[in-house]
Amino acid sequence: MSDGTPEIWKPVPGYEGSYDVSNFGRVWGVKRERLKKPSIDPQGYPYVSLSRGAGQSERRSVHNLVTRAFLGPLSPGKEVLHGDGDPGNSALSNLSYDTRRENVLDRVRHGTHHMANKTHCKHGHEFTPENTYTPPAQPGSRQCRTCHGVKDLSIPPRRVEGRTHCCHGHEFTPANTYVDKKGTRRCRECSRISDSARLAQRSAARRAKNAARRRLPAQDVLSI
């Protein structure tokens, strides 16, 4: 490498005597005495095919080979992080183990997370500085102020607080608003519709049951 770091080789775990991997992210075929040319997957990660003989081969990501050889087995709940955000950089100096949360935050910081490049929320509101909220408990995430009704960064987002209409378009007038046992604002019109739908379903079920009874012989009706 340009910084003078020496290249160090170690056996690939599980393929000792067949393949070695270096701290530069290169894979060497011991038996054929040549470097393996990696391919690139759709996410940009280099991978190589390792053969066990008898036509058996396995596709392995180069960054996994490097970390297993130099950092040891991957602990439960941990993932491989690329320090510079470049999936093609499989050098040991660029790799580390950390949690899924840190991996997601790392991608957000590098701008490679699929949500980090979105300019609008799922309802079409633009992620402007004035319309973007970052929950204290979720650093790195973005939420839409318009959707959540957040007016102050110190106030956690509430899905109903600050809205003038419910999700079905009914206005939150004093006559159309009530507060449930959890202290959440509810729409009376939606509740009436739900109650009416439940009553209609019950009535339909009773009518179907009565109709079924009328079609059965008398002795069968008495046994129901």
Query: Residue 67's domain is classified under what CATH number?
Result: 3.90.75.20
- In terms of domains, do 17 and 39 share one? yes
At residue 4, the pLDDT reads 81
At residue 156, the pLDDT reads 45
Which residues span the domain enclosing 82?
9-110
> Among positive and negative, which fits the CA dihedral 178, 183, 186, 188?
negative
Tens-digit pLDDT profile for residues 139-177: 556 677 777 665 444 444 444 445 777 777 778 788 888
In a domain, 167, yes or no: no
Question: pLDDT category, 117, cuts 50, 70, 90?
Answer: low
The Cα–Cα gap between 169 and 34 comes to 67
3-state percent helix, strand, coil for the chain, nearest multiple of 5: 30, 25, 45
Token pair recorded at residue 222: 């008495």
In a domain, 173, yes or no: no
At residue 154, the pLDDT reads 46
- In terms of domains, do 33 and 124 share one? no
Instruction: Look up the pTM and report it.
Output: 0.51
In a domain, 98, yes or no: yes
At CA 32, angle to CA 30 and CA 33, rounded to 5?
A: 60
